[in-house]
Chains A and B, each alone.
Chain A
Amino acid sequence: MMYTIGFLVNPVAGMGGAVGLKGTDGLVLEAIRRGARPRAGARAVLSLRLIRETPFHFLTCSGPMGEDALRDAGIPDTSVDVVYPAPGTTSSDDTRNACREFAARGADLILFCGGDGTARDIYDVVLDRIPVLGIPAGVKMYSAVFAVTPEAAAEILLVGPPSLLKLRDAEIVDVDEEAYREGELRTLLHGYAKSPYRPGLIQETKQVFENQDEERAKQGIGKFLADVIRGTPETLYILGPGTTTGAIAHELGIDKTLLGFDAVKGGRLIAGDLNEQRILEMLSCGGRARLVISIIGAQGSVLGRGTQQVSPSVLRKIDVENVIVVATPHKLAETPLLFVDTGDRELDREFGEYLSVVSGYGIAQRKRIGRGTVQEK
């Protein structure tokens, strides 16, 4: 069966970075004025030329929004259908419209070249219905749909037909560009896309059985924490966002919000989608409370990304000791360092040098906590 890839390039992605703009949203003209040149197309070619021998069928957009890169990579015209005419100046509307077209024409996967903004626009249209894979070209790439390099994106696609690709949940995060330019990283979890990965790119040897299947690892974590929660019926648990914490809720048979913080006690959901104020109110009732959070985004952020509800005052009330971090071995293999950014440096330091991250049933991994500013990919 022919494998259909919807392919698009955000031609202006990454232009702001080179000229010190920390993002290009709404600033394309300023970036060009500062001498920025389009780079996304060239990044896409690095990836595409590695798959030109593979009989994929591409749906794409005209000119710099896809067609040019495919041609420059040597992909034969016969494998390419231009299904969306791109205007001279493209915008996020064009990304969204192109994706609607790809979806309507039955794309098996969307391959794009861009940054966090592009990932968010695609996700808004396809949600988790079509797998998404990013060739990194943006200024910021905190979302987890990006391959490590353009070449790595090609390697993932070369694993085989869609049925053989392993999919995992990948966070789409919003970065507040205004704040980011002021040197403050403020992010919000936007949603969870499905993204393919090649197990070999994450871990090479087959000996680590726990790593074979992310869903299985997630179930293990879910079962373990569900047993812990049932075994401590007096403790209030605040479950953070994500599909790994979602697996805990699933084991308990409760409905948890995907992106919010929910309160659980004695194995039962007692409140959903809490804001900081509500969490503080619940904590003021006394008794032990534990916070269960997962690692957000591809850069190993434990707190501070999409977790604004858990403010420093919330954390001080709960106590660092009672923070349980969960993550699949896959996620941990990709994140050599973890970052704790509560917004309160002193509190950050209380987490110490290492975090013990629960990664399976009765299994944890020790991970080092990185210090200083979060590095971009």
Chain B
Amino acid sequence: MERLVGHLRSVDPEASESLRIVEYFDVLLKRGAGVDGLLRGAAVLSGTVAGAEVRGRVSRRGPEGGVPDDAPGARCSSRRSGEGWSVWLERGGDALADDEMIVERLALGVELLEARRRPAGGLETVIDAESPVAERTKVLARLHLRAASPVRIIATPADAPEFGAPTATVPTPYGLLRATLDTADPSAPGEAVSPAGPAGLGTRVRADRAPESWEAAVVALRLADGTDPVVDASYLGGLLLVARGHDPRSPHEDVVALARLDPRAAHILRVLVESESMRSAAAALGTHHSTVQARHEALTRALGYDPRTPLGKIRYVTAELLLRLTDPAYLPASDG
């Protein structure tokens, strides 16, 4: 069985290397790995020595995971640094294609670890539901906010640019994301924080309930796509409660049933749900009424409910929403 497994870097170099790098570091951070674990990851993924200097202490790890015997080699150009830390790969000669991304993820990780160890934390404490309210309030005071001040949190991808407001990179069920504090008054539009790329806008809450806003922002970001790059969680209303009860790694069976449909069946289902009558559904699909009837019955069996009843419609729409919030690794392959 071990023959199937090689070193990370030697297995199928063609396949989605960048996804593999992102996934590797995301899991490390989510699971609380330290600087040495990050360095071992960067070293094995790059095949060369990875190093970090954090508050004056230098650590280096080779691709086998050990501390290299030799003196530090040339640091590659894609070195990153922040307040009190820097990270690098040691590679004589030109950087390889993935070096940049590996160093970036390593930097993100070290930045996160450093942010976590700062006394009382920063924004990551404010949005952390696990941290005591007293501690969150203390940090809010440092940000010149009262417990009752209106705020919302904005979620963007971890590598999105900062936009001049308190920000932190934090692990979520959907990987590392950037949280940014928005204290702008919505009635004064000139002041509003406006992210450009994909973003999820959290609900507006009292500052001491910022974790709720962050949770909503993360959901909203997940729903953002090419058509709607910026999604405001407040538009979801009560659906937010449903999303909050959803585990992206353990989807409800309605979600699983939906994921199993091939693209054609999924399209027919959508038309069926959105059409006033079976006749108009048949017209929209350009097929015969009896064909649509048969499709409708087959879909009802596949889903375990009739998607055209009032309750069925709600179940379908809810499942559709949750499907977009589910980790694809935990979904079955579509039948298509």
Instruction: Report if A and B associate in a common complex.
Output: no
